[in-house]
Chain A
Amino acid sequence: MLKMRQADMPTSRRAFLKGAAVASATFVLGTFVPFGRFALAEGDAAAPKPVIDPNFFLRIDSDDTVTVLLKHLEMGQGVSTGLSTLVAEELDADWSKMRFDHGPNNPKVFNNLFFGSYIGTGGSTSMANSWTQMRQVGAAARAMFVAAAAKQWNVPAAEITVENSVLKHPSGKSARLGELVEAAMKEPVPQEIKLKEPKDWKYIGQKLPRLDTPGKTTGKAIFALDFRRPNMLVAMVARPPRFGGTAGKVDDAAARKIAGVVDVVQIPSGVAVLAKDTWAAMRGREALTIDWQLDKSEGRSSDEMLAEYRDLAGKPGLKADRRGDAAAALGNASDVHEAEFVFPFLAHAPMEPMNCVIELTKDGAEIWGGSQFQSIDDYAVSQVLGTTPDKIKIHTLLSGGSFGRRANAFADWAVEAAHIAKAIGGKAPVQLVWTREDDIKGGLYRPMVLHKLKAGLKDGRITGWQHAIVAKSILVGTPFEGMMVKDGVDATTVEGVAETPYQIENFAVDVHNAKTEVPVLWWRSVGHSHTAHVMETTMDELAGKAGQDPLAFRLSYLKEGAREAGVLKLAAEKAGWGKEMPAGTGQGIAMHHSFGSYVGMVAEVAAQEGGFKVSRIVAAVDVGIAINPDVIAAQVEGAIGFAMSAILRNRITFKDGVVEQGNFDDYEPTRMKEMPVVEVHLVTSAEPPSGIGEPGLPPLAPAIGNAIFAATGKRFRSLPFQGPISA
């Protein structure tokens, strides 16, 4: 097995692969189900049968090195460690011998089992969809090694044990995995696979060291932007100053005079300058004079868009959730609480800006990049080049963060690179590079969102709740629409409000799909990035009005034994909820369920000169079985570090259609001194694992906002939390 890749595979397997590579020319996302709660269950008729043949997923060398070919993009979330843990557990491999690489874009093998027959990483689904499959791969490989050893030693297979990559028989015979590769490869892939009982797990549940740490602490890890091809040209694109604009007349005379500039070409997204190095490409781009055509572009300022959103919120919208009769219940209330929340557009701003290398081949192309939705990227590029996705070979490389940015229905970065390569007739490999300004100004933002709600209280209980959400839909008009949009309601706009676990009898949610040329996209935790804040701030405000403890109030609306209640209680217990706090400081609590996982948080903040300081976050997390508790803790710490910037200051704003921010000076991520102390506690669980890339984010803003209120009496609703606080 196992040490072979496609080219060296036995004929029968090669034949299978060849068949597998024939992709259909049409791109129908009928079975594409990107998110946990829409996920196809294992065994669902619509789900393709998972491939568990180790020959596709593992390379084992004679020195015992086991390389796992990943079906998911490693972008920092730790998936290389997670998937390898599952394999190593069942293979009984020595952890120090485990390595990883990204798998090829063969959808018949590397598909996300929750996405039907497509390859993709997102919706915090990686570990959940691979949980059984990758253990089966490891177990199948183990069985093949054991069978090979049994033959060589002429002993019953059942008497052979495997530990730390060594096979042993009581007779004293032993062999390393590496010594048996050739023989094991010839064994059939077992059809019946028995997985270990949880009590026998050696790696699952342990803090195994990350596999990507060594390369990332020595500068040796190769990210997409580090990839080089011989004679490669670097391309930068001048794009319209407003969304919806296009390039008209171009004067490139000055650009072409810059040393190192090789070519200037017009492509649909703008004007590309190709040069011998990045520095020349940058200067070449600056020297262009372009007559932009802006008549169809978005020309409004943020305030004008918001005024329209407010107008829409006052009108009846599309029905996203209806329970009981909310209007009548509000009429019966003794107190009606009204609130408005505004959330700005946000850029993902992953540390590594968008980029990729593309090289045209005789019938397609090869791409090296941080591809997150390989099955969209290869299709989209094939359309540009007039070929089929199977002719597009994607080499997925490590990516310097994504937070949703690299996974989009437009495959914007790959498509742009393909247009440039095509425009120069494939005369050289092209590395497309976006600068930070290109990234911050480039769109595909978390949508601007307006929430308006009314909640009625009587005798300390919620009588009814009316809620309106206005945002541009992420999915309408994309290939995901068929699956995730129902009767015009985009699930990603309303998730987290529409399916609130709080048992509120009379509940109505309306949604309005606002229109703008500004392109929008999921941003770490998608709709939950705003809905959790609205729900958990409002529950806190209602608890206050009802004169009840915020924790007890929430628990009284949750079902007995609910996992939501479990994380609330654990966070409260570990944080010392309700303890005496010094003047000017306070605690706040919040909880949210997203992507199959549950996170409760208690924040501690202190009012300080010019604002507030978040000193401590205690998080309680229920992800089912915790495959690697340390990676889970890291993801929660990271989600907090990432989200702090959106709580403190980040916003993308428009002035007459032009984005006002451009780099980390005016779109400044969280910095060291702003990072709170984070404690992560896990709920012990035997439920199958769910994701943790995103769920750590949603409860943070409301926990902090609620703590600021407890500390100072100042209530922040809209994000970011800006404005005066007096203790």
Chain B
Amino acid sequence: MITLNINGQNHDLDVEPEMPLLWVLRDRLNMTGTKFGCGVAQCGACTVHVDGESRRSCSTMVGDVVGSEITTIEGLDGKVAKAVQTAWQKLDVVQCGYCQSGQIMSAIALLSMIEKPTDADIDAGMEGNICRCGTYQRIRAAIHEAAKSLA
């Protein structure tokens, strides 16, 4: 039995410690906002926060995050998250939307670390998130927009 703290709630789960967090979220807890894109830490679609930092849940074994605070897109809360989601909506960033949970999680982590990111900071901070629909220009603009609204 493994206990995970997700979005402020403890979940007791009968899973092996090697099971990737992504599949525990999606298949055991039916929290499907976190997406499967590559399974090998290349695309960022599965990004969650572990103790406030971005983590690729497809490549994180649940045994390694016992005792940590895990946040998924469903559990977003707080000023930065709100600013990011609002900016995303204002600029209509999304296309297919499949990558966007991960993009939003990474953007929040970036803005939590750097209040006013430069384009180079955004390049670096968002490097691990692929958008096959090519919404990068709007993601960049939305991050700047969110930073502005938080200032």
Chain A residues with a Cβ under 8 A of chain B:
75-78, 209-210, 212-223, 225-226, 228, 234, 259, 277-279, 349-353, 398-401, 403, 435-436, 630-631, 634-635, 637-642, 644, 663-665, 668-673, 675, 677-678
Residues of A within 8 A of B60 (CB): none
Say whether B122 faces chain A, with CB atoms less than 8 Å apart.
Answer: yes
- Counting residue pairs across A and B whose Cβ atoms lie within 8 Å, the total is 177
* A664 partner residues in chain B, CB cutoff 8 A: 37-38, 40, 42-43, 130
Residue pair B94, A210 in contact (C-beta under 8 Å): yes
Once the chains are docked, how many angstroms separate the CA of A65 from the CA of B81?
28
Q: Judge if B123 is at the interface, Cβ distance under 8 Å.
A: yes
Q: Are A279 and B23 in contact (CB under 8 A)?
A: yes
Cβ–Cβ contact A351 & B37, under 8 A: yes
8 smallest CB-CB distances across A and B, nearest first, come from A641-B134, A219-B33, A400-B98, A216-B97, A76-B96, A219-B73, A76-B95, A226-B32
Which residues of B sit under 8 angstroms from A222, Cβ to Cβ? 32
User: Are B137 and A219 interface neighbours, CB within 8 A?
Assistant: no
Given contacts A351-B96, A670-B136, A671-B127, contact A217 B89 (CB under 8 A): yes
Interface centre among B19, B35, B92 (most CB of A within 10 A): B92
Complex CA gap A639/B136 in Å reads: 11
Given the known interface contacts A638-B133, A641-B135, A675-B137, the answer about A228 and B95 at a Cβ–Cβ threshold of 8 Å is no
Interface of A is mostly: loop
B residues in contact with A212, CB < 8 Å: 94, 97
Q: Whose C-beta in chain A lies nearest to the C-beta of B24?
A: A279
Partner of B73, one of A218, A436, A635, A637: A218
Residues of A within 8 A of B97 (CB): 76, 212, 215-217, 221, 223, 398, 400
Which residues of the other chain, B, contact A209 by a CB distance below 8 angstroms? 89, 92
Contacts of B89 in A (CB 8 A): 209, 213-214, 217
Is the CB–CB distance between B32 and A352 below 8 Å?
no
Chain A residue nearest to B124 (CB atoms) is A673
Q: How far is the CA of A663 from the CA of B37 in the complex (A)?
A: 10
User: B96–A399 contact, CB under 8 A?
Assistant: yes
In the complex, B11 has a CB within 8 A of chain A: no
30 contacts between A and B (CB under 8 A): A216-B94, A217-B85, A219-B33, A219-B74, A220-B33, A228-B30, A277-B27, A278-B26, A350-B96, A350-B132, A351-B37, A352-B35, A353-B36, A398-B97, A399-B96, A400-B96, A400-B99, A436-B37, A436-B43, A637-B134, A637-B138, A638-B133, A641-B133, A642-B133, A664-B42, A664-B130, A665-B42, A669-B131, A671-B127, A671-B130
Of the listed residues A217, A221, A350, A668, the one surrounded by the most CB atoms of chain B closer than 10 A to its CB is A217
Are A217 and B36 interface neighbours, CB within 8 A? Answer: no
Residue numbers in A under 8 Å from B33 (CB-CB) = 218-220
Check A78 against B95 for contact (C-beta < 8 Å). Answer: yes
From residue A70, how far is it (CB to closest CB) to chain B in Å?
15
A219-B101 in contact given A210-B94, A351-B131, A639-B134 (Cβ < 8 Å): yes
Asked if A278 and B23 make an inter-chain contact with CB atoms under 8 angstroms apart, the answer reads: yes
User: Smallest distance from the beta carbon of B7 to chain A beta carbons, Å?
Assistant: 11
Q: Is the CB of B95 within 8 A of A634?
A: yes
Our pick among B85, B123, B133, B140 for the contact of A351 (Cβ within 8 Å) is: B133
By a beta-carbon cutoff of 8 Å, the part of chain B in contact with chain A is 16, 19-20, 23, 26-28, 30, 32-40, 42-43, 45, 72-74, 76, 85, 88-89, 92-101, 104, 122-123, 126-127, 129-140
Residues on B with C-beta less than 8 A from A631 are 92
The answer to whether A638 touches B35, judged by C-beta atoms less than 8 angstroms apart, is no
Report the bound CA distance from A218 to B94 in whole Å: 11
A382, B92: Cα distance in complex, Å: 39
CA gap between A109 and B126 in the complex, in Å: 43
Chain A nearest Cβ from B47, distance in angstroms: 11
By a CB distance below 8 angstroms, the chain B residues around A671 are 127, 130, 136
| Contact with B136, one of A214, A665, A672 (Cβ below 8 angstroms) | A672
Q: Contact between B133 and A76 (Cβ–Cβ < 8 Å)?
A: yes
Q: Which of B38, B73, B98, B131 has the most CB of A within 10 A?
A: B98
Roughly how many angstroms separate A435 CA and B32 CA in the complex, as a whole number? 16
Q: How far is the CA of A639 from the CA of B23 in the complex (A)?
A: 31
Q: Which of chain A's residues has its CB closest to B92's CB?
A: A210
Q: Does A352 lie within 8 Å of B133, measured CB to CB?
A: no
> Could you tell me if B95 and A672 are in contact, using CB atoms closer than 8 angstroms?
no
**What is the minimal beta-carbon distance from B117 to any residue of chain A, in angstroms?**
12
B127 touches A672 (CB 8 A): yes
B127 contacts A217, CB within 8 Å? no
Bound together, the chains give a CA A213 to CA B96 distance in angstroms of 10
Q: How far is the CA of A119 from the CA of B138 in the complex (A)?
A: 32
Q: Smallest Cβ distance from B23 to chain A, in angstroms? A: 4
- Cβ of A278: which chain B residues have Cβ within 8 Å of it? 23, 26-27, 36
Contacts of B19 in A (CB 8 A): 279
Complex CA gap A580/B103 in Å reads 38
Which of A77, A217, A678 is within 8 Å of B100, CB to CB? A217
Expressed in whole angstroms, the minimum distance between the Cβ of B66 and any Cβ of chain A is: 17
Is A436 in contact with B134, judged by CB distance below 8 angstroms? no
Distance between Cα atoms of A640 and B133 in the complex (Å)? 9
Asked if B135 and A213 sit within 8 Å, CB to CB, the answer is no
